[in-house]
A and B are shown apart, each in its own frame.
Chain A
């Protein structure tokens, strides 16, 4: 969500992303802008109703939950559920899988988005540039149910990709059945789906580079590579650092929908993530307490991660969310 807001701010050419020293608000300013605060009311109400109020459900992690008796009627067990979760041998595996897959996605997506933006930036035909941008942005809007079905068909042992391998004498690759390959399949298919969308931010950032700098560099004899290395990249690097840092706030979000569609028991050891485990425990196997504990741990770690990421981003790039 934070990333989407940032994208909107960047694409509007606004520098309204908070710098290290935000403007202080004063009582006088609040009085002057009371209409704006009034406009915030519906959003605040929605936030409280759908994000704050349900937080009481965290209590499920501390009780022996009986849905019929409800939270208040269930027996208090303190940290017993947490002990059970951390005692399970698969917990470490789940965290490892989640972090590895999420890290891979965050970094590769931003690298691919930046690289594609740089390529598009050099395209001199506006029509083609727009066409390429639209086509590469399309997959972002597809649900993983659709993309997953395509992936199953393309990457299966009898799919088009392995057909191509066979035609050139290469051995088949079990993209969806080999636990060593499956994490790469997840990361790369997600990068394919999202790199076009990621590029939107970088394209906006590139348009903010002062063209006079590029002209001056050209006059001074810098070639395309030189301009790219000395002007363009340094200009867009703070945005890249910011996006990666903010992405790290979602270090425990490895893509539930994608994994659920693509995984199978043969790849649980490297493909099962916290969210799919929570889904199986909570909604399929009825263990609400275990699912809640994992959710609480995810939320705490995510909170610490995003606070840290915001601070790091501010230090490195000067850009901060808040």
Chain B
């Protein structure tokens, strides 16, 4: 290209200068230090959080609202929350943790680092959790794996199985045995069953622990049977007791034109809601579970004869159109949406749908009535459900993290557990809302007549807690929910005039009372649980085959249900499973069983 082709307005010298500057900038940019991958939200950068104001930022009504001082309307409440003593960190300690993206902050001005839950921790404890990154739940593990590969793990984060074992085995997380034993309170150790409870199995290696185990809820994944009672009454049937009764009820509801696909289902067979484990349980087995035989050996549930019987039932339901043919493309949330949209009559879900799916269903369909019924019995008359795996997840700390930070976080755990267990004494009624701070404008508010009413109730405020580590999830243990519901049940038995405004308000919430009823039902029917007997960590040999075997199994199950593969082929599937590493898997599991059971 010659000068004659350049626009006459730009001289060659000017053009050279421009090119030089552009090239230099590009080279400098290319030589810049590596930065973490950009996060979903523009605020999610691992930098120092903005300095807090000396007082917590007001996020709700402009005047103090709890305590004897009347608010702007002259209203006074009669509960006075207090907190256990804590030696506040000053200056505040910063801890980098993953934040969850896409949360709902209904109060204007609130954000991940400015909301009552967050501000409470800063104000009371002097702990500032800053975001390593923000990501939606589905992106959580891919982001963590990215961090692992890049060497930029957050200070603390939660990990479930089987990744927990992988993180421990490669040395990515810190051995916290000494810090935990020196710092954790007796209450924490008692509630979390340290050191012998099975929830610690995943974090233990040779007697040392590599994280703080937690189990969200001892029965949080126990699936109960729910039915649209109004539709059942419309077709004139009694509550189904057996698998055949369920089929009959579903047929009747479909034929009456009340519901096109009466039985709720999603692509996963054993999962946290809309599962099918009670169907398989009726025949004595649970997919993906390890079942203990009479001889003490463990057998893989997915290849047991009972599974074929369960698949036969599901295939029949699929062929008759009793379950949505699109269930293979539906995850748990999508299947739950069908319940909320009034498109499901019978479904299997955990106790917490009381505040999960059902409020939206009742809001859209006030005539809907949901009853909890017994799980369906098989030909032998037995019922069964998977129950909640008593294999804990863990809050782990990256290798090399300063012991002072780990100590600070365990002290935070002590404080949270104290508040939770003695919530009535401290009048911390947020513990009935999964550990929320119970701030005005959130869980509750006062109307013009000084009645306690529902606040903005952000959808999933409990998720805020995950960013603060020791709220819901990190601080939990098997009986975490049960303690609260049993205390609430005593309120019902005492003279109601002795209850304070907050207690009456909570008992007046249908969702809360439903939760309590369903939880207690699940608790009272624990005997039908078919537990997963393998509670050990996944060894390297198991990890080498497990994911491929799960792929094989999930494909086969769906093919059997949809009829793409004949049920007579079940034995072939069993042999395939064994040949593709199932035998080695079984050997590893039974080696653990021999040593531990």
**A interface with B by C-beta (< 8 Å):** 32-33, 35-36, 38-39, 41-42, 45-46, 48-49, 66-70, 88-90, 152, 156-159, 172, 174, 176-179, 264-266, 268-269, 280-288
B69 contacts A by Cβ under 8 Å: no
Interface hit among B251-259, B351-359, B445-453, B550-558: B550-558
How many A-B contacts are there with CB distance less than 8 Å?
A: 113
Interface size counted on chain B using CB atoms at 8 A: 43
Residue pair A285, B547 in contact (C-beta under 8 Å):
yes
Q: A284-B141, A287-B547 are in contact. List 18 more A-B contacts (CB 8 A).
A: A35-B19, A38-B19, A42-B23, A42-B26, A66-B171, A67-B148, A67-B151, A156-B326, A172-B325, A176-B328, A177-B326, A177-B558, A265-B557, A266-B562, A280-B551, A282-B145, A284-B547, A286-B163
Q: Is the CB of B30 within 8 A of A158?
A: no
Kindly state whether residue B238 has any CB partner on chain A within 8 Å.
no
Q: Restricting to B305-339, which residues have a CB under 8 Å from any CB of A?
A: 324-326, 328-329
Given known A268-B555, A285-B547, A286-B166, contact A45–B2 (CB-CB < 8 A): no
A201 nearest CB across to chain B (Å) = 27
A316 to B148, CA, bound (A): 49
Looking at the assembled complex, report how far the CB atom of A21 sits from the nearest CB atom of chain B, in whole angstroms: 22
Nearest residue (CB) in A for B400 is A68
**Of A39, A176, A266, A288, the contact of B555 (CB 8 Å cutoff):** A266
Q: How far is the CB of B133 from chain A (nearest CB, A)?
A: 15
Return chain A residues, CB-CB under 8 Å to B328: 176-177, 264-266
Given the complex of chains A and B, what is the CA–CA distance between A75 and B145 in angstroms? 20
A38 contacts B23, C-beta separation under 8 Å:
yes
Are A157 and B326 closer than 8 Å at their CB atoms? yes
Once the chains bind, are A265 and B23 in contact (CB under 8 Å)?
no
A287: B residues at CB distance < 8 A? 547
Once the chains bind, are A283 and B145 in contact (CB under 8 Å)?
Answer: yes
Contacts of B15 in A (CB 8 A): 35
Q: Given that A158-B326, A176-B328, A266-B559 are known contacts, is A68 also in contact with B19, CB under 8 Å in the complex?
A: no
Q: Given the complex, which residues of B lie within 8 Å of A41, measured CB to CB?
A: 23, 26-27
Given the complex, which residues of B lie within 8 Å of A49, measured CB to CB?
A: 30
- Decide if the interface of chain B is mainly helix, strand, loop or mixed: helix
Alpha-carbon distance between A269 and B576 when the two chains are bound, in angstroms: 14
Q: How far is it, in angstroms, between the C-alpha of A287 and the C-alpha of B548 when the chains are bound?
A: 11
Q: How far, in angstroms, from A163 to B585 measured CA to CA in the complex?
A: 45
**Least Cβ distance of B240 to chain A in Å?**
25
Separation of A177 and B543 alpha carbons in the complex (Å): 29
Contacts A266-B328, A266-B562: A45 and B26 contacting too (C-beta < 8 A)? yes
| B142 interface residue per 8 A CB criterion | yes
Q: Report how far A284 CA is from B580 CA in the complex, Å.
A: 20
- Distance, CA A32 to CA B66, complexed state (A): 80
Q: Smallest CB–CB gap between A239 and chain B, Å? A: 28
Residues 519-547 of B, flagged 1 when their CB comes within 8 A of A and 0 if not, give 00000000000000000000000010001
A88 to B325, Cβ gap below 8 A? no
Contacts of A32 in B (CB 8 A): 2
Of all chain B residues, which has the CB nearest A70? B151
Query: B187 at interface (Cβ–Cβ under 8 A)?
Result: no
Inter-chain contact B555/A265, CB cutoff 8 Å: yes
Chain B residues near A36: list those with CB within 8 A: 1
The distance from the CB of A56 to the nearest CB of chain B, in whole angstroms, is 13
The 8 A-B residue pairs whose C-beta atoms are closest, nearest first, are: A157-B325, A42-B26, A266-B558, A265-B554, A156-B326, A285-B547, A283-B142, A41-B23
Segment 179-196 of B: residues with Cβ below 8 Å from A: none
Inter-chain CA distance A42–B326, complex, in Å, is 50
Residues of chain B contacted by A264 (CB below 8 angstroms): 267, 328-329, 558
Chain A: CB-nearest residue to B26: A42
Chain A residues contacting B399 (CB-CB under 8 Å) are 68
Q: Is the CB of A90 within 8 A of B548?
A: yes
B165 to chain A minimum Cβ distance, whole angstroms, is 10
Q: Does B594 contact A (CB under 8 A)?
A: no
CB pair B554 A158 closer than 8 Å: no
Task: Check A158 against B324 for contact (C-beta < 8 Å).
Answer: yes
Contact among B19, B151, B324, B555 with A269 in the assembled complex (CB-CB below 8 Å): B555
**Chain A: minimal CB distance from B140 (Å):** 11
| Residues in B136-165 with C-beta less than 8 Å from chain A | 141-142, 145-146, 148-149, 151, 163
Task: Say yes or no for B51: interface residue by CB 8 A criterion.
Answer: no
